[in-house]
Homo-oligomer: A and B are copies of this chain.
Amino acid sequence: MFIEIRHLRSLQAISKSRSLADAAQQLHISQSALSHQIKVLENYFETPLFFRGRKPLKLTPAGERMVGLAENILPQIAHAEYELKRISGGELGRLHITIECHACFEWLMGTLGNYRKDWPDIEVDLRMGMSFDAISALAQGDIDLVISSDPITTDGICFEPLFPYEGRLVVDPEHALARKTFVQPSDLADQTLITYPVPRNKLDIFQHFLTPEGVEPKAVRHVELTAMILQLVASKRGVAVLPDWVLCESTISGQLCSLPLGAQGLHGMLYAAVRKSDTHLPFIQDFISLASLAVTTNGAPLSTGTQCTKIGG
């Protein structure tokens, strides 16, 4: 690899000039410098690059080959430099998101739709399948943002609060628990609990409600899709705990009841985790702004006590 960028620029200038001297002037270098440059190239490749002593300067086929190279390459480099400047300016970038909580899918899709309109040059993507250790994937640069409900202090990472939520028990309207004002841990001991297929320590219902009281449900069933969970509950196959934003008119058109976990309810906060080095980027900040408004704009969550909603296909 002998050719340098400056050689390509030189050849390009020469091909557009009547003489080496003209080309040198265009390049803002001395005629001598250009002559030396060409000599070096010609010595290395053992072939002349232009015909000497012709009034309109003419390149040899070897020279033309090199100009061809220049005209392929120089624009590519110019374009890459332009894009790198845009990347540092935050106009261009990558936003690969992972969700630690499956239910976030419900509001995230709507948010991403709006976000894409604001930031057409940001490569937005939702990466499932790395939720097992999303935060370290974030720290390592595999992804750029994690939607999470438990902030852990990892250095280089910061957790921006998005909005509070309430985890509520969902049952069918004819269920025995449907008549209660709130559920106690022991109420679930004889129930089939339907959850997302994630480790128990990632589930509020175990972490902050059942496990502290030593209660174990009769059975636990793993289902991936929220809509499927709701259908299973509606058809009396079990009960589930879902965040309030899922339980709103826009996603449910059949009959379901939801009620608080414990007298105070099971409250949490949702966060967007990003690398500290990315917090200044406008397209990151704007995503966080949009996301923090997601739930109230997509549809009001169920905030009252016992309440029935519809479910459907």
Tell yes or no: A264 within 8 A of B by CB: no
Tell yes or no: A36 within 8 A of B by CB: no
- A51 touches which one: B4, B51, B87, B141 (CB < 8 A)? B141
Q: Count A-side interface residues using an 8 Å CB cutoff.
A: 43
CA distance A47 to B277 in the complex (A): 10
**A46 and B88 within 8 A (CB):** yes
**B85 and A77 within 8 A (CB):** no
CA distance A98 to B3 in the complex (A): 34
Contacts of A87 in B (CB 8 A): 45, 47, 61-62, 65
> In angstroms, how far is the closest chain B Cβ from the Cβ of A45?
5
Contacts of A5 in B (CB 8 A): 1, 3-5
**B61 and A93 within 8 A (CB):** yes
Q: Could you tell me the dominant secondary structure of chain A's interface residues? A: helix
> In angstroms, how far is the closest chain B Cβ from the Cβ of A144?
8
**A65 and B47 within 8 A (CB):** no
- In the complex, the count of this chain's copies comes to 2
Interface members, chain A 211-249 (any B CB < 8 Å): none
**B1 and A78 within 8 A (CB):** yes
CA distance A77 to B4 in the complex (A): 9
Interface members, chain A 45-73 (any B CB < 8 Å): 45-48, 51, 54, 56, 58-62, 65-66, 68-69, 72-73
CA distance A78 to B60 in the complex (A): 20
Interface members, chain A 74-106 (any B CB < 8 Å): 74, 76-78, 80-81, 83-85, 87-88, 93-94
